[in-house]
Amino acid sequence: MDTIIFLGPPIAISVLLSMILGYFGNHILSRGIIFIDIAVAQIAALGTMIGLLLGFADESFGLQMVSYAFTIIIIGVFAFTKFANQKIPQEAYIGIIYCLGLGLALLLAERISGGSNYISKTITGNILWTTWKDVLISFILFGIIGVFHYFFQKPFRSISNDPAHGDSLKKTRLYDMLFYMTFGIVIVKAVPIGGVFLIFILLIAPAASITLFTQSWKKRLIGSWIIGAVGSVIGIFLSYSLNISNGPAIVCLLGLLTVGLTLLVIVKKSPVGNA
């Protein structure tokens, strides 16, 4: 019982993260910009490091605003580098921005006390020490974003189904800006909790696993939520029981699940479902 009480907040936050990232993951997978999560997360971390250099206290409101500002700038780049005849894939821009953000973060780490530890924390996260306050704040924030996306679900889904054009290029850029801004807010909030790798695996692995079997948006969403939540909870219990890092445990579990399901489909030569 003491274990369950202690693991209550980490389990609750992992379920919340699985739901919001499972939703975004299906959109990201359909749009073919798989590594945008890592790039946005790295820029958010870079913004945080710059905020620390400017004198803001760790986890302060001002520090978060600096991180959000850098994230929104990068989101604008993603939204407005979409063209009718795309000569350079957006994945190329995403890779360049990620490398730039990581390189600058490594340089700034030399100027910040404990900078290397901060970079390590950004990568691995610390979900096991989540508090109920973190859960409540995340629930409210993710809930607001969920309601926002409910009202804009038609244009967002239209663009995800036809990433190159959507309704029209001008409208697509506008809706992309709204989509990526909310996505960036989620990432800025999620990365300090789970770390870059865990957030990436929750974004992509559950969505990729369920997409092997169905193309139905409804089934993909529900399947992503179930796979992400169950995998996260099992990973948390395993990491606690075996005294191993929680983030890497969940990453390995969900990664192996995705690879296993992919091999299963290949062996059975099962076509992707069109339900």
CB atoms within 10 A of CB 96: 12
Q: What is the pLDDT of residue 71?
A: 84
Distances (CA, A) of 211 to 224, 228, 240: 9, 14, 31
Whether 202 is in a domain gets the answer no
- Here the CATH number for the domain that contains residue 87 is 1.10.3470.10
Whether 213 is in a domain gets the answer no
CB-based contact 179:187 (threshold 8 Å): no
Predicted confidence (pLDDT) per residue in 139-163, tens digit: 999 999 999 999 999 888 888 887 5
Whether 266 is in a domain gets the answer no
Domain containing 184 equals: 2-194
Whether 161 is in a domain gets the answer yes
Q: What is the pLDDT of residue 31?
A: 81
Distances (CA, A) of 97 to 15, 177, 251, 268: 30, 17, 24, 39
Whether 243 is in a domain gets the answer no
Predicted confidence (pLDDT) per residue in 167-192, tens digit: 566 677 788 888 988 998 898 888 88
CB-based contact 191:105 (threshold 8 Å): no
Whether 74 is in a domain gets the answer yes
pTM over 0.85: no
Whether 217 is in a domain gets the answer no
Looking at the chain, the number of H-run helices and the number of E-run strands are 11, 0
Q: What is the pLDDT of residue 100?
A: 86
**For residues 126 and 138, what is the distance between their CA atoms, to the nearest angstrom?**
15
Whether 226 is in a domain gets the answer no
Number of domains in the chain: 1
Residues of the chain with pLDDT under 70: 1, 79, 81-88, 114-116, 163-170, 269-275
